[in-house]
Amino acid sequence: MSTKSKIIALAALFIIILSIPLYLIISNENHLSNTEFQYKFRRIYPVDPYDPMRGRYITLHLFQTGIPVLDGDSLKRGDEVHVVVDRDSLGWAYFKNAQKSIPDVPNYFTTKVTSFWNDGVSVQIPFERYYLNEELAPAAEKEYNSLVRQRDSTLYLVVTIKDGKALSNNLYYKEELFIDYLKRIEKERSE
């Protein structure tokens, strides 16, 4: 391989390899800048698993009743589906409906059906992971039981949802960042 070929190959490799992390960073930053499309989800139940490449995270199980399916759509498990979200009178987000065709409104995310029954479907939640510092993750798990008991707005997740994509902004506990809350109670316990 001549030096010229090596440099051309390297330039191509730089472009290909760097394209994926740069694309992810730019598209995610753009997405999160849409503050008007932030939705607050409550009634979430965290558990603490582990990812070998991405570290510890908590899985945020959203309480899902059947999401109504748009008239005429028949959905089965594994189907791609677009879920429209909206806010109720108190400002909490909820899943308005699920449909096969791309909605006319921008406030939807795209996912897959995990189960279905007569009056609705449940879907795979694409913003169910919240990554935490490995020392805080066990503390989050410790809080699990008390968090489950507090059913309403004590723990909520803010998600930016627009044009099929959904990304978590932050997780809050009683208006305080969940991470800060965990750090605070850990500190209080150690004192």
User: Given the rule CB under 8 A, which residues bind other proteins?
Assistant: 1, 3, 6-7, 9-10, 12-14, 16-22, 24-25, 28, 32, 51-57, 77-78, 80, 100, 112-114, 124-134, 136, 166-168, 179
Token readout for 74 is 């028949």
Minimum CB distance to other proteins, residue 133 (Å): 4
Q: Which amino acid would we find at residue 19?
A: S
The CA angle 149-37-179, to the nearest 5 degrees, is 40
Report the residue number, 75 or 84, with the smaller CB distance to other proteins: 75
Q: How far is the C-alpha of 115 from the C-alpha of 79, rounded, in Å? A: 10
Residue closer to other proteins by CB (options 21, 91) is 21
Write down the least CB distance from residue 65 to other proteins, Å: 16
**Minimum distance, C-beta of residue 151 to other proteins, in the bound complex (Å):** 22
**70, 45 contact by CB (below 8 A):** no
Residue holding tokens 């959905």? 75
